Structure 1
Amino acid sequence: MLLERLYEAAVPRLADKRVQEVRIGNQLVGVLLDSGELGAAYALPGERRIVEPVFPDPAPFIGMPAADLAARLLEPDLVSRALGLAVCNAVAQSDPSRCLEDPDVATTVPVRPTDTVGLIGLIHSMHRRLAGWAAHLIVFDRSLEGEPGIRPVEQQPELLPLCDVVFVTGSAVTNGTLEAVLPWCTKAREVVVIGPSTPLYPEVFADTGVTVIAGATWLPQHHARALEGIAAGLGFHDMADLSRRWALRVR
């Protein structure tokens, strides 16, 4: 499974590192390691049964071996998985040979005016750019089902094979749905996993059908501000200036 592959890829990078700080907000979770590396991930507030953070007290995690917190990636609870993903994201390494020149995948992954595009997880910025360009835009979002323009997930096996390009939010890694949808992207020339939760580990996505991964890392000089923002309940879009975006070619 993808989560197991991610954990196995991250563990060697986490050797001898410990958790220094943890922040759990209504949008994001953030983990700072004693090596000075910071990672974050969306805690999927739209899918949680409890609106407030499940772990309001981060104290139990302070001083924990980083690999032990990363292992929570394999637990069923969504906030636990987000914490594990944040640890893995903290030690992600961007291979220069795989980096696209422009990290904005909306421009570096070409969408043609004749394309049918699938968007799994409503990313508003992507939706605005694609809606007026692609011939057809099909949007799925489990937390927004029933709202105008959102297709039910039950239609994915029928509609995803029609898509020429598919963009999937990185949160699909956290909730375990990415692996379920990839076999239906049979026509897609590009399958892009996008968003700040996206783990920048190209090797993890090898042979999955994913062609590009687009995520972000936090700039060291802004770590304190990022942690404060996460604790205050800000989303990534509120703190985009504190990070650097990356887009990596998987193959």
Structure 2
Amino acid sequence: MKLNDRLYDLFADKAKSVTIEVLSLGLGYTAVTTSDGGMGISYTYFESKKSCALNKDYDDYEGKSASGLLEKIRSTDTVQRSMALALINALNYESALSLPEDRKNTIMFEKFNIGQGTKVAMVGFFGPMMRLFKERKAELEVMDSFRGLGGKENFYEKLENWADVLFLTSTSILNNTTEEILERTGETVKTVMIGPSTPMVREAFENLPVQMLAGTVPVEKEKVLKAVRHGTGTPVIQRFSKKSFLDLF
């Protein structure tokens, strides 16, 4: 996918001068720390566990140049892409950490005019946001394959002809559906990429119809690493992180 290639190109030079310190492949999220003080996380994407191994092409990346793992953003294996995306977020750590915060999603909701009658299409079920949509009386259509929510073709029709705003999980980068979804998005729809996996990198989305990036940047690094090792989810990880956002328009 072009987005994966773009992410690789943007960080290829930096990866040559950085080594990986810790790679933690958790059940819920993957975390990577780097020699320049960076830390990034990404959703650990796998559809089913059919054997004792999730990462079947084992390579010990710790203590080695980040270049080797960065290449895996173009792998056909979703677990390898999960590790590579966490690395990309680690390589972008200082930039992401400097961005403003929107811990309660207030800025995001105001920016996209989420209110009574707003038609929201969401790819990926984000439970904590449901209360906000209900409070603001927005209309909602959700597609989440893991939860069995929303038929693909019906959702795409709504995305083309009905929706005002698209909330698109950055897990779509890991299953290579980001560009497919955006291609089916109506011309007037405003899109925000959301979730801890989100690479907060303006240049990566320059040629895509995305108006905002909303991600998670670890602050208390050891606590985030422990949360990843313990198989926790987004609410726990975000206790020890900053919820950054980046306007693209």
TM-score calculated relative to the size of structure 1: 0.88
Query: Match for residue 203 of structure 2?
Result: 203
Aligned to 2:226: 228
- Give the count of matched residue pairs: 242
Give 1:32-181 correspondences, 5 Å limit: 32-45=33-46, 47-50=47-50, 54-55=54-55, 60-92=60-92, 93-94=95-96, 102=102, 104=105, 105-145=108-148, 150-161=149-160, 162-181=162-181
CA distance in 2, matches of 1:224, 1:57: 27
Residues 195-224 of structure 1: CA deviation (Å, up to 9, x unaligned): 1000011111112101101002111xx212
Offset of residue 117 of structure 1: 0.5
Note the residue ranges of structure 1 that are not aligned, 5 or more in a row.
none
- Partner residue of 1:9? 10
Unpaired runs of at least 5, structure 2: none
Q: 1:52 to 1:215 in 2, by over 3 A?
A: farther
Structure 1 49/75 Cα, relative in aligned 2: closer, same or farther at 3 Å?
same
- SS in structure 1 opposite 2:96? coil
Helix, strand or coil for the counterpart of 1:94? helix
Q: Give the aligned residue type for 1:200.
A: M
Q: How far has the Cα of 1:53 moved from its partner?
A: 5.8
- Single out whichever of 195-204 and 61-70 deviates more from structure 2: 61-70
CA contact (8 A) 2:26 2:228 kept: yes
Q: Which residue of 2 aligns with 1:194?
A: 194
Contact in 2 for aligned 1:193/1:213 (Cα 8 Å): yes
Alignment RMSD, CA only?
2.3
Deviations 1:225-249 (A, max 9, x none): 2112211111221121211111101
Paired amino acid for 2:32: V
Secondary structure of 1:111's counterpart equals: coil
- Cα deviation 1:23-63 (Å, max 9, x = unaligned): 11110111111222111100125x34448661399871212
1:107-139: CA deviation from partner (whole Å, max 9, x where unpaired): 443213122100100011122211343442000
C-alpha change, 1:68 and 1:185, in structure 2 (3 Å) is same
Any conservation in 2 of the 1:156–1:181 contact (CA below 8 Å)? no
Alpha-carbon distance in 2 for matches of 1:250, 1:53: 39
Q: Partners of 2:201 and 2:9 in 1: how far apart?
A: 11
TM-score normalised by length of structure 2? 0.88
1:100–1:247 CA contact under 8 A, matched in 2: yes
8 A contact 1:26–1:51 mirrored in 2: no
CA distance in 2, matches of 1:107, 1:124: 19
After superposition, the Cα gap between the structure-2 partners of 1:134 and 1:186, relative to the gap in structure 1 and judged at 3 Å, is: farther
Q: Distance in 2 between matches of 1:51 and 1:245?
A: 35
